[in-house]
Chains A and B, each alone.
With several copies, the nearest count.
Chain A
């Protein structure tokens, strides 16, 4: 009996978050964007201590509060209730963005609408005439944080590639992305363009290239390449 052919989907969102968390060094200061990046908190390796920053004025974001003990004055940048760890600190917005702009944060984990092979990021506006433009802190994060990594599905809901040769949406920043974690692969942005460092189980390099809007170099160790 032959199984019905299924489109392989690669990693789950939690897999992606786990892979991103694995690459964050012990002791790092990290800002997480809204969406898939929020899952990273759940996957920090047990022997690592990572300090989470939220740009609305807290260093040392803790886990979500138990139901019923939410404090409307203790929220993250996505305006969701959070807690604070022992050793946390509160500060005002100018000090918070001094941390970001001044290069004090180690990693910014963001979602994306498009990433170009030069590392341009578009994640704030569709550019449609009717859209209400809203940027928040994304442009500050990509301009200031030492390392910018993206967690995103590899393609849009309609199957369009999000990794592209040129972004068609308005940019958040130019040449700012270091690495992209998608459901299909971990891809570095290098001077030579996209380089796949790891590919999800069940996905071939060819499939990866087909779903990507720009050439990808296979950068995996020879033993892992298919």
Chain B
């Protein structure tokens, strides 16, 4: 029988080793899998490449993972925000690498990776610093750059509900990068607010079909990153 449910965040991330590439869902705190990230902080894997839109806030969640010195390289579109100081400090100190990618190109590279597309062309970033060094090509009179599909060893994602087959639905704008990161990772690890019986999610409304999900962990009441930041909390 298919049973993708795992007992705890710690179990679910236990095989994320040093040097792994890890996609982490979320746009700011919305959709950020904070319990899975904290489990990865506990696990202590180092030299990670993290692919995520942002770099976290305060000293919890993704920011805690970075502050803990576990991340060697970030691939992201927007590594700063109001309460983001961990990444900037390490970046200025030369202790973390950054590959800056336009947000839509980042999303499409992840989707391409998941869809078996090794490369595609986009007009985004043509003629800018972020397009430099990239193969350029004209189609129908317009210039494009070639971008590569992006895959990862693991994805950490937060969804709303899931079933034992791994089918997922999300909440509002917390959906963001979750579905495409599940597609692009060899092992997609998802924390959901609730695990439901198979058949409880309308098959017409499934957002991530179970084939893209390997592990599911129930976290009924996830921490709210912005609350923790406001309280000045630090993880661990």
**Which residues of A are at the interface with B, using a C-beta cutoff of 8 A?**
26-27, 29, 49, 51, 53-60, 71-76, 79, 84-105, 125, 130, 132-140, 143-144, 170-174
User: What are the residues of chain A within 8 A of B207 when measuring CB–CB?
Assistant: 92
Q: Separation in Å of the A13 CB from the closest CB of chain B?
A: 21
In the assembled complex, the Cα of A98 lies from the Cα of B91 at a distance in Å of: 31
Q: Check A59 against B173 for contact (C-beta < 8 Å).
A: no
Q: Check B210 against A135 for contact (C-beta < 8 Å).
A: no
User: What are the residues of chain B within 8 A of A174 when measuring CB–CB?
Assistant: 126-128
**Which residues of B are at the interface with A, using a C-beta cutoff of 8 A?**
1-2, 27-31, 53, 77-81, 87-88, 91-92, 98, 100-105, 107-108, 110-111, 113-117, 122-130, 163-165, 167, 170-180, 183, 197-199, 203-204, 206-207, 209-212, 224, 226
The 9 closest A-B pairs by CB, nearest first: A86-B199, A140-B104, A87-B198, A97-B104, A101-B116, A98-B115, A174-B127, A89-B206, A94-B111
In the assembled complex, the Cα of A159 lies from the Cα of B115 at a distance in Å of: 41
Q: Check A139 against B78 for contact (C-beta < 8 Å).
A: no
Q: Check B165 against A87 for contact (C-beta < 8 Å).
A: yes
28 example contacts (A-B, Cβ-Cβ < 8 A) are as follows: A27-B2, A29-B211, A55-B104, A60-B165, A72-B224, A73-B174, A75-B173, A76-B173, A86-B197, A87-B167, A91-B175, A92-B175, A95-B209, A97-B103, A98-B115, A99-B212, A101-B104, A101-B108, A101-B117, A104-B183, A104-B212, A132-B87, A140-B104, A143-B123, A144-B116, A171-B127, A173-B128, A174-B126
Max chain B Cβ within 10 angstroms of own Cβ: one of A54, A133, A139: A139
User: What are the residues of chain A within 8 A of B175 when measuring CB–CB?
Assistant: 57, 90-92
Partner of B128 from the list A59, A60, A170 (CB cut-off 8 Å) is A170
Q: Separation in Å of the B116 CB from the closest CB of chain A?
A: 3
Chain B residue at minimum C-beta to C-beta distance from A127: B129
- Given A101-B108, A101-B123, A105-B211: A139 touches B206 (CB 8 Å cut-off): no
User: What are the residues of chain A within 8 A of B130 when measuring CB–CB?
Assistant: 135, 139
Q: Check A90 against B123 for contact (C-beta < 8 Å).
A: no
Chain A residue at minimum C-beta to C-beta distance from B178: A92
- Given A51-B2, A58-B173, A143-B124: A137 touches B77 (CB 8 Å cut-off): yes
In the assembled complex, the Cα of A88 lies from the Cα of B209 at a distance in Å of: 8
Q: A26-B1, A51-B211, A99-B212 are in contact. List 12 more A-B contacts (CB 8 A).
A: A56-B30, A59-B210, A59-B211, A75-B173, A94-B107, A97-B115, A98-B114, A100-B104, A101-B123, A135-B77, A136-B78, A144-B123
- Given A84-B203, A135-B130: A56 touches B183 (CB 8 Å cut-off): no
Q: Check A93 against B211 for contact (C-beta < 8 Å).
A: no
